[in-house]
């Protein structure tokens, strides 16, 4: 079936680039979002998020008339759902955004339509989506109960793009596509082949769901191993970065890099979707989550220890005279995203506990967002921080911070990324 009109529900970090990629291939795309200002921004050909090359793609698609945004769904041949799937306080997945998306598109569905869930989801969610849609539209048949003969096709195709490289990876990465039935899979594959140059690999919905969770859980476990090594090496006086470089010279070893903890909305979240369904079978994934979640506390202790050392070595200096500078607040290098950032957590915690000044330096933003900045954390430029700091804490390996090295100038440094080695 040829898709001439598609609708993308949720115009965030995944939905908007996907809408733009489809529109670039001359599919008429309607993007739906609950946020009015997002809708208005996109209809002006502009974007509300930072992602290289996305601005150009959206502007071209809107100007040429292939992309439009709205608060209200309209009929289309295919609907791609790309809404958030966070977890609740007890680490149980919160699927309410998917359910709301299903309820919002149900009234405009017609026989032959294809629904694709792109949001990262616990195993079984695609089938639940089909059930939620069926509950709204008893006049149509759905694949979870009528199988191949259903009026509507439902499939899962998890997004796998890396923030910062979304526009490239969206086109070039392989896609894993799992329908509730083989015909659902085939219909979804036809859609992705419109803009994907990587391979579109077919499976079933549950395997596709588990595949995405597995990818991010595997990365979490690997980073936990690196973080554990960094703590052991610190205790034994070994340079962990040299150690990992040496070990990685073995042809079958590829250890990831330690850091201040794991941030973002994916790697630190998705393992919980497996754990919450298989608590007794996941000791390794649970241990990894614990190690990565506790790494910020270890970094805070290292900084506190450095402050104590300065006080011990400088009689007459008071703790209120000591300025701690936290270099980097984003959740990883060269992006502006502060959400779920271990660096931000460390900086805020130090600002709240240290009686002297704590500086937060983040070259990718112009000010601290009101909701996130601790009132005691002082936003500062790199140059100013370099002049006033007593303790230099490197939290994010932004390219700006690679241009100098306080260790070689004999400063007190806590380097969580290994770019300021003595």
Whole-angstrom CA distances from 355 to 128, 258, 276 are 51, 29, 40
The reply to whether 50 sits near ligand SAJ by the rule CB under 6 A is: no
Helix (H, G, I), strand (E, B) or coil at 1: coil
**Closest residue by Cα to residue 124 from 84, 69, 178:** 178
The reply to whether 162 sits near ligand SAJ by the rule CB under 6 A is: yes
Q: How far is the CB of 216 from ligand SAJ (least distance, A)?
A: 5
- Taking residue 187's Cβ as centre, other Cβ atoms within 10 Å add up to 25
> Which lies closer to ligand SAJ via its Cβ, residue 205 or residue 335?
335
**Closest residue by Cα to residue 416 from 337, 292, 329, 299:** 299
Listed in sequence order, the residues at least 6 apart from 356 whose beta carbon sits closer than 8 Å to its beta carbon are: 319, 320, 321, 322, 323, 324
Using CB under 6 A, which of 15, 264, 328, 373 touches ligand SAJ? 264
The reply to whether 398 sits near ligand SAJ by the rule CB under 6 A is: no
Q: Pairing state of beta strands 5-9 and 358-361?
A: unpaired
The reply to whether 262 sits near ligand SAJ by the rule CB under 6 A is: yes
The reply to whether 210 sits near ligand SAJ by the rule CB under 6 A is: no
**Closest residue by Cα to residue 393 from 368, 362, 372, 352:** 362
x-or-dash pattern for ligand SAJ, window 90-129, by CB under 6 A?
A: ------------------------------x---------
Query: DSSP label at 37?
Result: H
The reply to whether 217 sits near ligand SAJ by the rule CB under 6 A is: no
Using CB under 6 A, which of 161, 191, 221, 389 touches ligand SAJ? 161
The reply to whether 160 sits near ligand SAJ by the rule CB under 6 A is: yes
User: Tokens representing 366?
Assistant: 């112009």
- Taking residue 290's Cβ as centre, other Cβ atoms within 10 Å add up to 11
The reply to whether 266 sits near ligand SAJ by the rule CB under 6 A is: yes
The reply to whether 276 sits near ligand SAJ by the rule CB under 6 A is: no
The reply to whether 178 sits near ligand SAJ by the rule CB under 6 A is: no
Using CB under 6 A, which of 73, 93, 122, 259 touches ligand SAJ? 259
Which H or E run contains 378? strand 377-379
The reply to whether 163 sits near ligand SAJ by the rule CB under 6 A is: yes
CB 413 within 8 A of CB 407: yes
Per the annotation, the verdict on 376 as an active-site residue is: no
Per the annotation, the verdict on 266 as an active-site residue is: yes
The reply to whether 336 sits near ligand SAJ by the rule CB under 6 A is: no
> Which lies closer to ligand SAJ via its Cβ, residue 225 or residue 404?
225
> Terminal CA-to-CA distance of the chain, rounded, Å?
62
Residues designated as active site:
212, 266
Interacting residues with ligand SAJ (CB under 6 A): 120, 159-163, 215-216, 219, 223, 256-257, 259, 262-264, 266-267, 331-332
């Amino acid at each position: 079936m040829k898709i001439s009109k598609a609708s993308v529900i949720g115009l965030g970090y995944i939905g908007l680039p996907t809408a733009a990629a489809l529109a670039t291939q001359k599919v008429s795309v309607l993007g739906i979002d609950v946020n009015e200002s997002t809708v208005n921004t996109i209809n002006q050909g502009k974007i509300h998020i930072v992602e290289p090359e996305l601005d150009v793609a959206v502007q071209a698609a809107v100007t040429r008339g292939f992309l439009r945004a709205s608060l209200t769904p309209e009929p289309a041949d295919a609907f791609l759902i790309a809404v958030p799937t966070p977890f609740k306080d007890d680490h149980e997945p919160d699927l309410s955004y998917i359910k709301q998306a299903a309820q919002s598109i149900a009234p405009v569905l017609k026989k032959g339509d294809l629904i694709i869930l792109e949001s990262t989801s616990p195993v079984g969610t695609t089938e639940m989506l089909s059930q939620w849609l069926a509950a709204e539209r008893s006049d149509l048949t759905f694949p979870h109960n009528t199988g191949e003969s259903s009026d509507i096709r439902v499939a899962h195709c998890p997004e796998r793009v890396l923030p910062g490289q979304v526009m490239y990876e969206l086109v070039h990465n392989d896609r894993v596509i799992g329908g509730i039935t083989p015909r659902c899979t085939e219909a979804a594959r036809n859609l992705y082949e419109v803009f994907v140059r990587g391979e579109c690999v077919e499976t079933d919905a549950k395997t596709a769901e588990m595949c995405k969770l597995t990818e991010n859980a595997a990365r979490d476990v690997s980073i936990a191993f690196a973080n554990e090594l960094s703590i052991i090496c610190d205790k034994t006086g070994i340079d962990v970065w040299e150690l990992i470089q040496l070990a990685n010279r073995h042809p079958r070893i590829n250890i990831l890099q330690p850091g201040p903890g794991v941030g973002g909305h994916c790697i630190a979240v998705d393992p919980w979707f497996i754990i919450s369904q298989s608590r007794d079978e996941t000791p390794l994934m649970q241990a990894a989550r614990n190690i990565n979640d506790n790494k910020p506390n270890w970094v805070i202790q290292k900084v506190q220890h450095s402050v104590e050392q300065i006080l011990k070595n400088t009689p007459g200096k008071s703790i209120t005279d000591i300025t701690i500078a936290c270099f980097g607040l984003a959740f990883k290098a060269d992006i502006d995203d502060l959400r779920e950032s271990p660096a931000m957590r460390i900086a805020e915690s130090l600002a709240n506990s240290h009686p002297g000044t704590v500086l937060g330096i983040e070259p990718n933003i112009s000010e601290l967002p009101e909701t996130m900045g601790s009132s005691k954390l002082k936003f500062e430029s790199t140059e100013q921080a370099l002049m006033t700091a007593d303790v230099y804490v490197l939290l994010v390996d932004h390219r700006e911070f690679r241009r100098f090295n306080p260790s070689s100038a004999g400063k007190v440094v806590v380097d969580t990324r290994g770019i300021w080695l003595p």
